[in-house]
Amino acid sequence: MKRIAVLTSGGDAPGMNAAIRAVVRTGLAKGWEVLGGRQGYSGLISGDFFPLGSRNVGGIIQRGGTILGSARSPEFETHEGRLKALSQLHRNGIEGLIVIGGNGSQAGAYELSQLRFPVVGIASTIDNDLQGSDITIGVDTALNIALEAIDRLKVTASSLHRAFLVEVMGRKCGYLALMAAIAGGAEAVIIPEIETDPEAVAAELRAAYDRGKPHAIMVVAEGSQYDAEGMAHYFEVHQKRLGFELRVTRLGHVQRGGAPGSFDRLLGTRFGAASTEQLASGEHGVLIGLLKGVIATTPLADVVANKKSLDLGLLELAHLLAH
């Protein structure tokens, strides 16, 4: 192998730059040329590659986002789009591709590998919903950002004995919300994996006041049956009967834009280094992830075919600890 390319795709995640840096420097150490692909699969289709040297990835390990840019590419979801991308890879003399991203990105990587192109995926998404890695790049930093917000809201909530709702990202997965609720000491948590009864939630918040708490914090995952908007609407309509107001904060993309903490810098670095080793070994079509604390590979076919499950035992723990 002489020349490889690396791209980032889908939602950016803090720690992606650490992974890019490790791919570039370990690839160069193998005597390869390393190209960066701009704007995810869109750039792959248009052949937007540029050479990456060691200095190009200097000073990026501490930066959030991705120096390569990212995109969600509807064209790459079509067979024609993927064939265009494949011909660009061949035209540019690229012999291996590393794809840093989450579910949609790894589904794309799988499709490329089905076209017999050597691809290795790196598990990266703040949602932590990717099969093949217990934790993905960006989760830890995003969680810490959510916690900072919850801690601050608790201060003002306690001063005025108020109830607050904090909505966190996660697409259809409740991992971020559940972990933020446990680590932030929230009184209630709403996740997509469980049906929600807003009356029961209101009762939980009321019970927190009755137990003498000065605040009531509810963490809501954006993909829940009742998201921030739905829950806020319910509380507004029933405010008189429920006896208290609900203030709403949606963290949204704020959660994604932070500078990576040590965990994500190290995870990105380890994944990046492992990905070039994997390409060199000739066994591609796999995702690099962390399983039981160890860097491990999972066939992309398994990654796309299986849904990662959430440990719902932790939901019981969250309820118990809210007392």
Residues within the interface to ligand F6P (CB under 6 A): 11, 72, 102, 125-127, 169-171, 222, 256
- Taking the complex as a whole, the smallest distance from the CB of residue 71 to ligand F6P amounts, in Å, to 9
Task: List CB contacts of 231: < 8 A, sequence separation 6 or more.
Answer: 165, 190, 198, 201, 218, 220, 246, 248
Say if residues 76 and 82 touch (Cβ distance below 8 Å): yes
Cβ proximity to ligand F6P: between 170 and 289 the closer is 170
Rg of the chain's alpha carbons, rounded to an integer?
22
Active site residue 227: no
Smallest separation, CB 42 to ligand F6P (Å): 13
Question: Taking the complex as a whole, how short is the minimal distance between the CB of residue 309 and ligand F6P, in angstroms?
Answer: 18
Rank residues 82 and 256 by Cβ distance to ligand F6P and give the closer one. 256
Whichever of 171 and 319 has its CB closer to ligand F6P, that residue is: 171
Show the tokens assigned to 274: 């492992």
CB 256 to ligand F6P: min, Å: 5
Q: Toward ligand F6P, which CB reaches closer, 88 or 106?
A: 106
The residue from 48, 127, 140, 264 that is catalytic is 127
Q: What is the DSSP string of 18-60?
A: HHHHHHHHHHHHTT-EEEEESSHHHHHHHT-EEE--TGGGTT-
Distances (CA, A) of 8 to 20, 70, 199, 212, 255: 8, 6, 42, 48, 18
DSSP state of 270: H
Q: What positions carry a catalytic annotation? A: 127
